[in-house]
Amino acid sequence: MNADSRSARAGVLYALGAYGWWGFVGPLYFRSVDWIPAWVIASHRVFWSIAVLAVLVVLGGQLPQVAAALAKPRIRAWLLLTTVLLGINWFVFIVAVASHRLVESSIGYFISPLVTVMLGVIFLRERLRRAQVAAVLIAGAGLVVLAISREVAAQGFPWIPIVLPLSFGAYGLVRKQLAVAPLAGLAIETALLAIPGAIAVAWFHSVSSIDRINDGGTWLLLSLSGVVTTLPMLWFVAAAKRLTLTTLGFLQFLSPALQLLVAVMLFGEPFTPGIAAALLLIAAGVTIDLAVTTRRTLAARGVVP
């Protein structure tokens, strides 16, 4: 096995680890602490994540990259925006798990690639092929079906499968334009979130009357949120360095697929005809877009005419 093959194999393993973790371990972890208010869990998440990231930045020799990014006013301003987007994404996912709406979260991440395509059209003036226009319309029809289905209507407007891909797609769009190392950028964003997070954690634990909230076991469980958050992100960065975007595009659907299975098989969330119809439409749209993207990538390499 040559070096390129070993690198690609390692990349696949890293990607499977990251997407598998996001789809399986993440939901199970956040369900285990769903008796705590979502905003408190989110505050702990950023507080403990920055502790992990600080160690990684120092050990990885990334302090110069952090200093270089903070020295540029334009970079600082854009990182403030990505910080807000990242915070929204993390918080909404916790809400989805705690409110028994993980099925909606999985739908949001299934549709995420199409949201990224639309953001590219709007902000980067990228042009869509006719098949991609059809893909967006079909997936949009799936969201309409989801919105009017009786099952979702009982829980209100399905904002989770809209906010999750929008925040994630916008975050990726902005970060793609910034010349900031992935680990350094994530450390800065998490540090900015950790400031209000630390204040929120200190205040809540000093006034809360929730049983067990200040137990050592609870603190240990909440401190694990740092590892739960940062480990798959580091695996994803390692995978992205070794794999093509096409390969990552295929593997990324492991995460929402696992979320859907966990929601239905382990958490007992309903998988009704309305949700199934919406998911089929969204899957059809995403499949069309993935086929177009794959063919374009292969054509650029001269593999297909």
**If you write DSSP's letter for every residue of 12-68 in order, what string do you get?**
HHHHHHHHHIIIIIHHHHHHHTTTS-HHHHHHHHHHHHHHHHHHHHHHTT-HHHHHH
Task: Give the chain's domain count.
Answer: 1
Separation CA 57–CA 193 (nearest Å):
17
CB 113 within 8 A of CB 290: yes
CA distances from 106 to 32, 209, 241, 271, 279 (A): 19, 33, 25, 12, 10
Residue type, 77: A
In a domain, 284, yes or no: yes
What is the domain range of residue 20?
A: 3-300
Helix axes 130-148, 273-300, angle to 10 degrees: 160
pTM (predicted TM-score): 0.88
Are 261 and 66 in contact by the 8 Å Cβ rule? The answer is no
- For residues 133 and 261, the answer to whether their CB atoms sit within 8 Å is no
Q: What is the mean pLDDT of each run of 10 residues along the chain (305 residues)?
A: 75 91 96 92 93 92 94 94 95 94 92 85 83 89 82 76 92 87 91 92 82 81 92 86 76 91 93 89 88 74 57
Q: Which two tokens stand for residue 255?
A: 């995460």
* DSSP category for residue 215: S
Asked if 178 and 51 count as a contact pair (C-beta separation under 8 A), the reply is no
Q: What are phi and psi of 141, to 5 degrees?
A: -60, -35
Residue 248 has, within 13 A of its CA and on its CB side, a CA count of 16
Q: Which two tokens stand for residue 210?
A: 């929730």
pLDDT at 301: 62
The predicted structure's pLDDT at residue 1: 59
Gap between the terminal Cα atoms of the chain: 30
Q: 305 lies in a domain?
A: no
Using only the alpha carbons of the chain, give its radius of gyration: 20
Q: Which two tokens stand for residue 219?
A: 């603190």
